[in-house]
């Protein structure tokens, strides 16, 4: 027979939905979407600032034009007449080790660095040097540094600035910056912290498990994929030949809030 099954997430009774102990209607209007993500994962309501930090992370990765494979898979599937959910599912299936996966890998690196610092009672910078040397010896790339297009990604600076403002900045962001310095020392290359690396550091600061990193990239990219799917369905004929290499932007001019 099947084993008894216990679940600690949600209790359903007539006219009552209780999530992690809280009545859902009490949470509505009080918690933001990122806060309820945190509650679902960690079992506790985060501070407003943690919620704002997650909002900023989700906004930072909402879209990156037509070149990411998640966008291309979603648009390709949408163009065949697929329903919305199938096109989104296809885009999500493209978020893997080599697309989005840098966040999880970078979190692993930062966690190793911070553990080393604690266990060996060494400085952040010394721990960072050890992490970098070890990875160079193993010829393993450290994820989260450098970008194909952006040499100085404005989203990184903004994420770190907000982390400061929200009182979240700590040893992981410090470790992230120290590794950047150590990489320069050891390899002579000045690689900027990219947005994946910055998100990784911030997610570490608020104790998100590294194995759930992919969820934040998926969620962040969801509205972007939706916009591309919706544009495809409303602006173009089904099954057009899509040349992803020549998309031209014809949206609104640059503007300020």
Please give the residues from 112 up to 171 whose contact with a copy of itself meets the rule CB under 8 A: 149-155, 157-159, 162, 165
Of 1-30, binders to a copy of itself (CB under 8 A) are: 1-12, 14-30
Shortest Å distance, C-beta 46 to a copy of itself: 12
Rounded distance between C-alpha atoms, residue 78 and residue 101, angstroms:
24
Which residues, 6+ apart, have CB-to-CB distance to 143 below 8 Å?
101, 102, 105, 106, 109, 196, 197
Among 88, 103, 173, 210, binds a copy of itself (CB under 8 A): 88
Tokens for 179, please give them. Answer: 């590794």
Crossing angle of helices 84-93 and 213-235, in 10° steps, is 140
Interface with a copy of itself in residues 36-65 (CB under 8 A): 36-37, 40-41, 43, 45, 52, 54-56, 58-60, 62-65
- x-marked contacts with a copy of itself along 212-231 as a string, rule CB under 8 A: x-xx--xx--xxx-xxx-xx
Distance from C-alpha of 225 to C-alpha of 82, rounded to nearest angstrom: 14
Given a contact cutoff of 8 angstroms between Cβ atoms, the answer to whether 51 and 71 are in contact is no
Least distance to a copy of itself, CB of residue 134, Å:
23
Considering the complex, what minimum distance in angstroms separates the CB of residue 237 from a copy of itself? 9
Binds a copy of itself (CB under 8 A): choice among 93, 141, 190, 207: 93
180 near a copy of itself, judged by CB under 8 A = no
Cβ neighbors of 206 (< 8 A, separation 6 or more) are 38, 46, 50, 53, 54, 168
């Amino acid at each position: 027979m099947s084993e008894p099954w216990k679940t600690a997430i949600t209790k359903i009774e007539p006219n009552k939905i209780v999530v992690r102990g809280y009545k859902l209607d009490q949470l509505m209007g009080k918690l933001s979407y990122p806060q309820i993500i945190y509650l679902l994962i960690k079992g506790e309501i985060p501070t407003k600032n943690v919620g704002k930090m997650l909002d900023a992370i989700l906004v930072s990765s909402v879209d990156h034009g037509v070149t990411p494979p998640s966008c291309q898979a979603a648009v390709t599937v949408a163009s065949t007449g697929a329903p919305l959910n199938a096109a989104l599912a296809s885009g999500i299936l493209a978020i893997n080790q080599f697309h989005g996966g840098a966040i999880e890998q970078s979190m692993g690196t930062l966690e190793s660095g911070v553990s080393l610092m604690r266990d060996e009672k060494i400085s952040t910078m010394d721990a960072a040097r050890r992490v970098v040397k070890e990875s160079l010896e193993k010829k393993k790339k450290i994820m989260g540094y450098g970008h194909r297009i952006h040499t100085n990604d404005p989203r990184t600076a903004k994420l770190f600035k907000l982390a400061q403002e929200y009182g979240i900045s700590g040893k992981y962001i410090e470790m992230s910056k120290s590794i950047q310095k150590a990489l320069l020392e050891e390899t002579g290359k000045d690689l900027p912290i990219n947005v994946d690396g910055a998100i990784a550091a911030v997610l570490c600061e608020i104790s998100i498990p590294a194995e759930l990193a992919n969820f934040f990239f998926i969620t962040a990219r969801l509205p972007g994929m939706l916009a591309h799917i919706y544009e495809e369905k409303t602006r173009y004929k089904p099954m057009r030949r899509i040349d992803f290499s020549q998309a031209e932007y014809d949206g609104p001019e640059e503007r300020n809030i």
